[in-house]
């Protein structure tokens, strides 16, 4: 029976926690963690899970946030991110903002703004889940392929957690 390194367990926990933080997207975190030496499948699952958990919380509590946004919008000019999201929304709709949003404004803000602009919770839920899963898996495959292609054997995490005697 193989015993897992405690430092490695912390690496996986960190992947989940960081993916749950707004503006640290699972699509970005996944390839970074794979290149750092963590196993591909657990990284994908944990990063997607962490990212989706907090995006779903945004979707569930959108009504309170929508009231805050409307009050904030009346009080000051729209910010650059909101303006960019609105342009994407006007041009491509729910799907476009879901697929493009994570890289330009973040998945959390993207979900929130789609709901504020008039998307239904169900459509936003489906499109956000699809977007986060597709980007994370796609970039994980590219990262894994890159690591394999470059024949990287002694990974960053191994060097980082190695103790010198």
Contact 110, 85 (CB under 8 A): yes
Q: What does DSSP assign to residue 137?
A: H
Is residue 1's pLDDT more than 50?
no
Question: Cα–Cα distances in Å, from 67 out to 70, 74, 97, 108?
Answer: 5, 11, 21, 17
> How far is Cα 11 from Cα 157, in angstroms, rounded to an integer?
9
- pLDDT tens for 138-147 read 989 988 887 6
Residue 91 lies in a domain: yes
Question: For residue 25, what are the domain limits?
Answer: 6-161
Domain total for the chain? 1
Is residue 112's pLDDT more than 60?
yes
- pLDDT tens for 16-49 read 999 999 888 888 899 989 888 899 999 999 999 9
Is residue 157's pLDDT more than 60?
no
Residue 108 lies in a domain: yes
Residue 1 lies in a domain: no
**Residue range 148-155: mean pLDDT, rounded:** 59
Q: How many CB atoms lie within 10 A of CB 81?
A: 15
Residue 45 lies in a domain: yes
Produce one character per residue of 111-147: b if its CB has 16 or more CB atoms within 10 Å, e if not.
Answer: bbbbbbbebeeeebbebbbebbbebbbebbeebbeeb
Runs of H (alpha helix) within 21-120: 26-35, 40-60, 62-75, 80-104, 107-116
């Amino acid at each position: 029976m193989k015993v897992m390194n405690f430092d490695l367990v912390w690496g996986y926990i960190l992947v989940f926690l960081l993916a749950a933080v707004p503006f640290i997207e699972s699509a970005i975190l996944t390839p970074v963690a794979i290149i750092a030496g963590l196993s591909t499948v657990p990284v994908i699952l944990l990063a997607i899970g962490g990212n989706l958990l907090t995006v779903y919380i945004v979707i569930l509590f959108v009504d309170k946030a929508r009231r805050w946004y409307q009050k904030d919008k009346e009080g000051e000019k729209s910010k650059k991110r909101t303006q960019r999201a609105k342009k994407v929304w006007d041009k491509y709709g729910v799907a476009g903002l879901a697929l493009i949003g994570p890289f330009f404004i973040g998945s959390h803000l993207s979900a929130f703004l789609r709901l504020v602009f008039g998307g239904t919770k169900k459509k936003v839920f489906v499109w956000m889940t699809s977007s986060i899963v597709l980007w994370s898996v796609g970039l994980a495959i590219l990262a894994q392929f890159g690591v394999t292609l470059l024949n990287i054997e002694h990974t960053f995490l191994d060097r980082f957690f190695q103790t010198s005697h």
